[in-house]
């Protein structure tokens, strides 16, 4: 039992290093995509949850997990996609948000489930921290981002949508 | 009556097919959007919808008596076996027509998924919670554009009015219900679409008022999508969507 627990912790920490394919400054563990690991004899069961239903990175993430485990000697891997609990940007730690900001992506605010149509209340420019920003498009380069322009420093930037 | 699992499968298929067909339609805009941001927005919405379709079709296939995969359902069914609502298969037309169709369907999906979140079926409630957040963006986007175009130039207004004339009589198909719905509502699994309709009417009225567009008078509504009775447009979408896997069965990327 002890050995198994240690093994699982070990596998989880190996997988925790995998970066997100689209936003490589944060890992799949920080994003909350990596949910859990269990062992069944020599089979590793990894549970992941999608950020957006149609996020094309999920396939790449599953492939990365398989490859990483293979490198570490685990041949039999079973990846399960679960939808509950439902992913939310509230799972991102302050530390992860800071990494996004440094990378040039405005991190998500707290999700507003009561009035999701209204969108994010306060978006700050990741470069100059100004809140005087303009929404260019609700849809950006990936499913999870919106496009903004800063009225103060005039730089365009991506915002990680609050979800 | 069918066993509950088969009813849930049928219900899931109707939800998934609507997302799949509309997602496929929006994909036609790829590279043809009026401006770059809009090209990206329409294909982003398409991506969300196809993601939803994958989840709902997978679930539908798992519950079938003879299990089917999402790909078998998407690529190896004929038009009469598709259960999407009629608006989803309607051609894109001009940008105004695409936006109006999106407004009609996103408003429906917004209030539908909001209720499906409370379904006693755990898979439905999880998928609904996820899809609801995505659809909120689609609704906001199409509502803003409806206002901009309806209350825009003489030409943009005219185009929106033409789109309303073209699409309005198909909006009734969004709320089509039959014994599948009735049975599942009794079990606390399905959504009462007559309730969704009240919210839909209110929201569309609100957006149209802001957009200076008129809500048409009550009229005859064309329905049938949920039972596989489609417009002539569906066959054409399917031929494009299905040609590769049908020509090369088992093909992989």
**Interface confidence (ipTM) of the complex:** 0.88
Q: Taking CB atoms and an 8 Å limit, are B40 and A141 in contact across chains? A: yes
Residue A141 has pLDDT above 90, yes or no: no
Mean pLDDT, rounded, for B13-29: 98
The whole-angstrom separation of Cα B165 and Cα A19 is: 50
Q: Smallest Cβ distance to B50: which of A54, A118, A119?
A: A54
Contact with chain A for residue B114, Cβ under 8 A: no
Across all residues in chain B, what is the average pLDDT?
97
Residue A156, helix vs strand vs coil: strand
Q: Taking CB atoms and an 8 Å limit, are A140 and B126 in contact across chains? A: no
Q: Which chain A residues are Cβ-neighbours of B44 within 8 angstroms?
A: 139-140, 143
User: How many Å lie between the alpha carbon of A4 and the closest alpha carbon of chain B?
Assistant: 31
User: How many Å lie between the alpha carbon of B249 and the closest alpha carbon of chain A?
Assistant: 21
Q: Taking CB atoms and an 8 Å limit, are B130 and A53 in contact across chains? A: yes
Which pTM value belongs to this model?
Answer: 0.94
Query: How many C-beta neighbours within 10 Å does residue B242 have?
Result: 15
Helix locations, chain A, DSSP H: 2-16, 28-31, 57-71, 94-103
Residue A56 has pLDDT above 90, yes or no: no
Could you give the percent of chain B with pLDDT greater than 70? 100
- pLDDT at B130 (0 to 100): 94
User: How many Å lie between the alpha carbon of B44 and the closest alpha carbon of chain A?
Assistant: 6
Check residue A117 and report its DSSP letter: G
Residue A118 has pLDDT above 70, yes or no: no
Do residues A154 and A80 lie in contact, with contact meaning Cβ atoms separated by under 8 Å?
no
Contact with chain A for residue B232, Cβ under 8 A: no
Residue B149 has pLDDT above 80, yes or no: yes
Q: Smallest Cβ distance to B137: which of A56, A84, A138?
A: A138
- pLDDT at B1 (0 to 100): 79
Residue B81, helix vs strand vs coil: helix
User: How many Å lie between the alpha carbon of B220 and the closest alpha carbon of chain A?
Assistant: 31
Contact with chain A for residue B130, Cβ under 8 A: yes
Dihedral over alpha carbons A88, A91, A95, A96 (to 10 degrees):
-40
Residue of B nearest to A89 (CA): B133
Instruction: Give the mutation candidate from A82, A85, A86 for the B interface (greatest B CB count, under 10 A).
Output: A86
Contact with chain A for residue B126, Cβ under 8 A: yes
């Amino acid at each position: 039992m002890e050995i198994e627990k240690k093994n699982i912790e070990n596998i989880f920490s190996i997988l925790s290093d995998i970066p997100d394919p689209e936003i490589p400054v944060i890992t799949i563990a920080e994003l909350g995509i990596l949910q859990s690991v269990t062992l069944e004899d020599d089979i590793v069961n990894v549970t992941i949850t999608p950020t957006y239903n149609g996020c094309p990175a999920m396939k790449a993430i599953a492939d990365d997990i398989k490859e990483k485990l293979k490198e570490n000697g685990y041949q039999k891997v079973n990846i399960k996609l679960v939808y509950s609990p439902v992913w939310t940007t509230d799972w991102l730690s302050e530390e992860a948000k800071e990494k996004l900001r440094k990378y040039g992506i405005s991190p998500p605010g707290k999700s507003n489930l009561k009035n999701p149509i209204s969108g994010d209340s306060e978006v700050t420019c990741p470069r100059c921290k100004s809140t005087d920003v303009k929404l260019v498009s609700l849809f950006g380069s990936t499913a999870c981002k919106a496009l903004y322009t800063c009225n103060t420093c005039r730089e365009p930037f991506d915002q990680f949508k609050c979800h | 009556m069918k066993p509950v699992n088969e009813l849930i499968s049928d219900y899931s298929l109707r939800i998934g097919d609507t997302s799949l067909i509309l997602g496929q339609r929006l994909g036609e805009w790829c590279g043809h959007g009026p401006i770059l941001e809009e090209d990206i927005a329409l294909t982003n919405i398409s991506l969300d919808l196809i993601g939803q379709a994958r989840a709902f079709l997978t679930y539908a296939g798992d519950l079938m008596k003879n299990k089917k995969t999402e790909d078998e359902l998407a690529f190896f069914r004929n038009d009469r076996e598709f259960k999407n609502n009629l608006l989803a298969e309607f051609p894109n037309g001009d940008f105004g027509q695409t936006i109006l169709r999106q407004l009609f369907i996103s408003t429906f999906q917004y209030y539908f998924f909001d209720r499906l979140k409370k379904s006693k079926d755990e898979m439905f409630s999880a998928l609904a919670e996820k899809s609801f957040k995505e659809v909120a963006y689609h609704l906001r986007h199409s509502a803003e554009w409806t206002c901009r175009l309806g209350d825009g130039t003489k030409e943009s207004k005219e185009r929106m009015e033409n789109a309303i004339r073209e699409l309005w009589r198909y909006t009734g198909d969004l709320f089509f219900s039959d014994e599948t719905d009735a049975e599942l509502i009794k079990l606390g699994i399905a959504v009462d679409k007559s309730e969704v309709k009240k919210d839909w009417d209110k929201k569309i009225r609100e957006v149209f008022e802001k957009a200076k567009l008129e809500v048409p008078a009550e009229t005859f509504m064309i329905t049938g999508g949920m039972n596989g009775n489609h417009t002539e447009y569906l066959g054409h979408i399917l031929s494009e969507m299905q040609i590769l896997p049908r020509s090369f069965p088992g093909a992989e990327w």
